[in-house]
Chains A and B, each alone.
Chain A
Amino acid sequence: DVKVTQSSRYLVKRTGEKVFLECVQDMDHENMFWYRQDPGLGLRLIYFSYDVKMKEKGDIPEGYSVSREKKERFSLILESASTNQTSMYLCASSGLDRADEQYFGPGTRLTVT
């Protein structure tokens, strides 16, 4: 059974804190993605990675960075959390072709106070 896991389901952080969101997949997928999901806006791509140590900006990379040191793990970093980063964060992975089916984790609901 394929699996994408995220380190936390719920997270509450204070403004200015550094936040790490971890994602692990067990399917040996090349591509991994980080999205945020907000009501009425759907899923917006923050960053994606197509290989270890490789990354590309998505539509809304400002205020975020990512790290992919190992194929199975993709981390999203909020260097200095702000209240407008309160959101649901979803990680996904897919095979060689980015248009392949994406497998999603359960999401992390982050609240920044």
Chain B
Amino acid sequence: TQLLEQSPQFLSIQEGENLTVYCNSSSVFSSLQWYRQEPGEGPVLLVTVVTGGEVKKLKRLTFQFGDARKDSSLHITAAQPGDTGLYLCAGDVNNNNDMRFGAGTRLTVKP
């Protein structure tokens, strides 16, 4: 079983729609990162959240860290084809510098 469960595993939507993907765990994280990976490339960091309840915005992307620091969500407004990719969350378990990755949500945005 994965330490971090990401849902949904696959998501296919039309351009302009909104979406939310989730990263959940039973463990507490001192920090959590979201990465995006495009086909043929390595993951690239989007954001790091460290405080329970924290909300960070990156243009049309909104990231939220749960109050208990066990879960996170990524909301995309008005999705565009350029948002297509694999979204991965990674958590630092109990502040021991041990990052673990989820399996990812594969997003396809159709024009």
Interface residues of A (CB under 8 A from B): 4, 9, 35, 40-45, 90, 92, 97-99, 101-102, 104-107
B45 with A43: CB separation less than 8 A:
no
B42 with A106: CB separation less than 8 A:
yes
The CA of A42 and the CA of B100, in the complex, are separated in Å by: 10
Interface flags, B8-36, vs A, CB<8A=1, else 0: 01000000000000000000001101000
B96 vs chain A, min Cβ distance (A): 9
Give the contact-size bracket for chain B: 20 to 34
A-B contact count (CB 8 A): 53
Q: Which residues of A contact B45 (CB under 8 A)?
A: 101-102
13 A-B pairs in the complex with CB atoms less than 8 angstroms apart: A40-B9, A40-B103, A42-B2, A42-B88, A43-B43, A44-B101, A99-B97, A101-B48, A102-B99, A104-B41, A104-B42, A104-B43, A107-B42
- List the B residue with the shortest CB-CB distance to A105: B42
**From DSSP, what is the main secondary structure of chain A's interface residues?**
loop
A101 with B33: CB separation less than 8 A:
yes
